[in-house]
Amino acid sequence: MALAPGERFPDLDLPDHTGRARQLSELAGGDPIALFSSRGWWCPKEQRYMRELTRLQDEFEVAYARIVVLSVDPPEVQSAFRAGLGARFTFLSDHERRWLPRLELVERTDTVHDPYRPAGFTLFPDLTVHRAYNGYWYWGRATPEEIRRDMREITRSVRADWEVPED
Amino acid sequence: MKPFAFLVFDGERLSADPRARGRRLRMDIRCLSGEPVKGAFAHVCALARADAALRYDEPEVQQVRRDALAWWIPLLGAELVCLSTFALDASRYAGAVTVARSPDRFGEDPFARLFPGTLVETDLFAEVGPPPGPVVERYAGAPWPGGSF
């Protein structure tokens, strides 16, 4: 499946960390999204990166943009992980691995957990991919500065009032 | 779509009729738009008194929305029907309502820190997916979590 810039990211239908059925487009709600696939709670690199995203949420909460994390952890595990992080964004649970093969994000080098490989996508509100990041190596992940840059670029292009209105 | 609907609260009862007697409060229009959930319970953390309001930008009003995202909504889980803050205008907060299938958790409602809660049995409200977070900023004039650009 193509997940390159300019392609439309699939409108995932998955339970969130509370077990409630959600749709990615509904989570967007007309705002840009930073979407991250994650190996799971057990990976030290994920724990580190999720803490980074949790710090960034204070900016997202006032900037009309969303953060979504996708993993194969079951909802109750995600909920506990999220609470431990102090995160206030949504985790989507693909614990049945319905979307994992279709998104072609399987981490084939982990035969124990069969998880997502870490990747990041900054998305327009209509789920068009703006940029894609390959986080298999930690340094490949989107840095906070890159996420800020992408959110600025998307917001500038979708908000008609980016340039301050005259009246 | 208009980003809000009016809910009227007289201190004991709720009405979706904007001409009803009581205080007119703006709430997320989606909560009053779909198929109503019968036999639900509303925890109305607001007062009928006209001057009971805070500025949306006060830290305690921001923090209660953060708490809703962090633990109140997960705590309610499948019991949650919908929730909305109450706006009076583009800048003033007048409280919030949480609607659930059971009132068992309402004793922990973080919104009751700001205005005391009143329990109302109700058939008015539709199920609305909870806000995904982390956005707690409102769209001007719209009660959180409603509205969009």
Give the pLDDT confidence of A117-158 residue by residue, as tens digits: 999 999 999 999 999 999 999 999 999 999 999 999 999 999
Q: What is the pLDDT of residue B138?
A: 82
Q: With bands split at pLDDT 50, 70 and 90, how would you rate the model's confidence at A166?
A: confident
Tokens of A102: 């279709």
Cα–Cα dist B142/B149, whole Å? 11
CB-based contact, B74 to chain A, within 8 Å: yes
Going by pLDDT thresholds of 50, 70 and 90, the confidence category of residue B1 is low
The answer, yes or no, to whether residue A2 has pLDDT greater than 70, is no
Report the percentage of chain B scoring pLDDT > 70.
98
Both tokens of A66, joined, read 């969303």
- pLDDT confidence of residue B149: 65
Residue A15 CB: number of other CB atoms within 10 A?
A: 18
B141: alpha, beta or left? (left if phi > 0; alpha if psi -120 to 50): left
Predicted pLDDT of residue A156: 97
* Identity of the residue in B66, B71, B77 whose CB atom sits nearest the CB atom of A83: B71
Phi, psi of B142 (to 5 degrees): -100, 135
Chain B partners within 8 Å of A90 (Cβ): 132-133
Cβ contact A88–B134 (<8 Å):
yes
The whole-angstrom distance between A73's CA and the closest CA on chain B is: 16
What pLDDT shows up at residue B29? 94
Q: Across the interface, do A62 and B77 touch by the CB < 8 Å criterion? A: no
- DSSP lists the bridge partners of residue B26 as B6, B87
CA-based end-to-end distance of chain A? 45
Query: Is the CB of residue A30 less than 8 Å from the CB of residue A147?
Result: no
Counts for chain B of helices (H) and strands (E), in that order = 2, 8
Global ipTM:
0.87
Residue A128: φ, ψ to 5°: -70, 135
pLDDT digits (tens, 9 = 90+) for A3-31: 899 999 999 999 999 999 999 999 999 99
Q: What is the pLDDT of residue A165?
A: 80
Q: What are the backbone dihedrals phi and psi of residue A37, each rounded to the nearest 5 degrees, phi first?
A: -85, 150
Question: Residue A42 has which token pair?
Answer: 């057990």
Which strands make up the sheet holding A119-123, listed edge to edge?
A90-93, A66-71, A33-37, A119-123, A129-134
| Candidates B78, B134, B139; nearest CB to A60 | B134
DSSP H helices in A2-127: 24-28, 44-60, 75-85, 100-103
Task: Average the pLDDT over A57-83 and give the result.
Answer: 97
Contact by Cβ (8 Å): B77, B42: no
- Chain-chain contact of B66 with A22 (C-beta, under 8 angstroms): no
The CA radius of gyration of chain A, in Å to the nearest whole number, is: 15
Q: What is the pLDDT of residue B22?
A: 96
* B23-34: average pLDDT: 95
- Res B148 pLDDT > 80: no
Average pLDDT in the B119-127 region? Answer: 96
Most confident of B103-107, B135-139, B140-144: B103-107
Query: Considering only CA atoms, which of A118, A116, A130 is closest in space to residue A53?
Result: A118
Which pLDDT tens digit goes with each residue over B60-94?
Answer: 999 999 999 999 999 999 999 999 999 999 999 99
Q: Contact at 8 Å (CB) between B77 and A19?
A: yes
Measured CA to CA, the distance from residue A102 to residue A93 in angstroms comes to: 15
